[in-house]
Amino acid sequence: MTAAFDFAPLLAADLPPPAAKWTGLAKFSFIGGNNDPEQVPLDGLIGAMSAVLGREGKNLATYNLAHGPQGYLPLREFLCAKLKRDAGIKATSDDLMIVSGSLQALDLVNHTLLSRGDTVIVEQETYQGSLNRLTRLGVKAVGVPLDGDGMRMDALAAALADLRSRGIRPKYIYTIPTVQNPTGSIMPEAHRLEMLKLSQEYGVPIFEDDCYADLIWDRKRPPAIYAMAKNGGVIHIGSFSKSIAPALRVGFIVAPWEMMSRMLALKTDAGSGALEQMVLAEYCSPHFATHVPKLTKGLRAKLDTLMEALNEQFGTSAEFEAPKGGIFLWVKLPDNVDTLKLYQAALAAGVAINPGPEWSTNKAHSGCRLRLCFASPSATQIREGVAVLADVCRKEFGVPVRIANVERASRA
Ligand SMILES: Cc1ncc(COP(=O)(O)O)c(C=O)c1O
């Protein structure tokens, strides 16, 4: 038998550890930023695909559909109108680049600004994908604590002053201000103004990740930080992953040309998927405004189901604030619960959860916390999955002691 070729001695230095093989989704999956399969607007997407291909399909013969490296023009124009209406952003199609999901936006911003050894400021609880990227780049992430209004401005001011006193100028302040991941808060306008003042005072740009901004229950949002900036020191990114479907892999960046021209030089993939961009533009122009309220109504109902199930199964052992939108609930369990261990035990029982420490720069604070995505499981899966999770948690950590409604009934 011929020996298998050995790649090991040839591997590049500084590679991340090898990936594990995909073994499928858990029976009860509360992980990731997946959306509700029942809410993908399939008929509309099929109609849009057929219309746009019939009309412009021959353009697929040309890289970037001959619309240039910033992406399909009708999609950029749709986004400019939408961002103006919803977020107060005045941008032209030249200020906007379509990318392969906002993950590519994170990479492009990071590779434009960051070198090993740099420091950035992030929300203490934040998106794991952002934290992992920073770790991989050898960049120090300073976490600023949150409250019900998002990143705390007093703590941000203190962090900036402390870094300055040590001669460190952070490369950016990364924030998810509109439906924060994982906590679900919305930063009020006054705090956004304060952040801009601090950004100006310390010469640190703001990196605004707004990918959940369409999914707000009452549809009320403050203007984007990008829209409020007077000096152009903000980079804004967004995505269709949460409003339409994550597998499409379409996101965008709005940035001043000084940054845009640098990021364009780094985007060497000859353009993001053209078919997805064409279908989205065709679908979204007439339908986005009616699709999103239907989507959020369904998501809100699932959140209610999740909160009810947690109250029923965990009682007072599970503490949480209802998020103002989005697809996640951030939950605190009693201090003795280690959610990294709970994650392993729950997975063995078919329930996938996101353990808090993976979403935080403060491992002690987040050790008993977890994030649950309520968008992708069905209402039945939510109820059954939470019951299994409570069972596993009780076996592993002795909490919840008893099912809460039984306890409450006996007290009443
Ligand atoms: C805050 C945040 N930013 C970016 C992303 C990446 O999204 P996508 O690449 O699908 O646009 C996610 C995904 O969950 C997210 O939560």
pTM attached to this predicted model: 0.96
194: which 2 tokens? 């304060």
How close is the Cα of 211 to the center of ligand 1, in Å? 6
- Which range (62-71, 257-266, 398-407) has the least confidence? 398-407
Output the pLDDT for position 412: 36
| Selection from 131, 60, 62, 68 nearest residue 98 by Cα | 68
Output the pLDDT for position 251: 98
How close is the Cα of 233 to the center of ligand 1, in Å? 22
Q: Is the pLDDT of residue 269 over 90?
A: yes
Q: Averaged over 385-405, what is the pLDDT?
A: 89
Output the pLDDT for position 408: 44
What are the tens digits of pLDDT across the range 270-326?
999 999 999 999 999 999 999 999 999 999 999 999 999 999 999 999 999 999 999
Residue with tokens 């122009």: 285
Q: How far is CA 230 from CA 166, 225, 226, 227, 233, in A?
A: 28, 10, 9, 8, 8
Output the pLDDT for position 175: 98
Q: Are strands 140-144 and 119-123 parallel, antiparallel or unpaired?
A: parallel
Atom index in ligand 1 nearest the CA of residue 126 equals 1
Q: How many C-beta neighbours within 10 Å does residue 113 have?
A: 18
What average pLDDT does the structure give for the chain? Answer: 96
Q: Averaged over 255-277, what is the pLDDT?
A: 97
Question: DSSP per residue over 159-222, as a string?
Answer: HHHHHHHTT---S-EEE--BS-TTT--B--HHHHHHHHHHHHHHT--EEEE-TTTT-BTT---P
How close is the Cα of 337 to the center of ligand 1, in Å? 28
The 3-state DSSP class for residue 372 equals strand
Q: Averaged over 355-366, what is the pLDDT?
A: 97
Output the pLDDT for position 165: 98
Q: Averaged over 227-251, what is the pLDDT?
A: 97
| Selection from 36, 77, 109 nearest residue 374 by Cα | 36
- The set of residues, in sequence order, having a beta carbon less than 8 Å from that of 268 and lying 6+ positions away, is none
pLDDT band at 402 (very low <50, low <70, confident <90, very high): low
For residue 46, which amino acid is it?
I
What does the alpha-carbon distance between residue 120 and residue 158 come to, in Å, rounded to a whole number? Answer: 14
Please give the share of the chain, as a percent, with pLDDT higher than 70. 97
What are the tens digits of pLDDT across the range 163-173?
999 999 999 99
Identify the residue whose C-alpha is closest to ligand 1 atom 14: 33
DSSP 252: E
What does the alpha-carbon distance between residue 319 and residue 391 come to, in Å, rounded to a whole number? Answer: 17
Output the pLDDT for position 275: 98
The 3-state DSSP class for residue 360 equals strand
Q: What angle do CA 290, 293, 299 make, to 5 degrees?
A: 140
Ligand 1 surroundings by CB, under 6 angstroms: 33, 101-103, 127, 129, 176, 181, 209, 211, 239, 241, 246, 251
On the CB side of 54, how many CA atoms lie within 13 Å of its CA?
7
Q: Is the pLDDT of residue 256 over 80?
A: yes
How close is the Cα of 103 to the center of ligand 1, in Å? 6
For residue 135, which amino acid is it?
T
Q: Is the pLDDT of residue 403 over 70?
A: no
Q: Averaged over 356-369, what is the pLDDT?
A: 97
Q: Answer whether 97's CB lies under 8 Å from 91's CB.
A: no
- Which range (14-18, 218-222, 283-287) has the least confidence? 14-18
How close is the Cα of 274 to the center of ligand 1, in Å? 20
What does the alpha-carbon distance between residue 11 and residue 2 come to, in Å, rounded to a whole number? Answer: 21
Name the residue of 104, 123, 181 whose CB sits within 8 Å of the most ligand 1 atoms, as the mutation to test its pocket.
181
Output the pLDDT for position 1: 72
Identify the residue whose C-alpha is closest to ligand 1 atom 13: 33
What does the alpha-carbon distance between residue 347 and residue 369 come to, in Å, rounded to a whole number? Answer: 16
pLDDT band at 409 (very low <50, low <70, confident <90, very high): very low
What does the alpha-carbon distance between residue 47 and residue 44 come to, in Å, rounded to a whole number? Answer: 5
| Exposed / middle / buried, residue 85 (Cβ in 10 Å: 0-12, 13-18, 19+) | exposed
What are the tens digits of pLDDT across the range 42-69?
999 999 999 999 999 999 999 999 999 9
Q: Are strands 146-147 and 150-151 parallel, antiparallel or unpaired?
A: antiparallel
Output the pLDDT for position 14: 87
Question: DSSP per residue over 120-134, as a string?
Answer: EEEESB--HHHHHHH
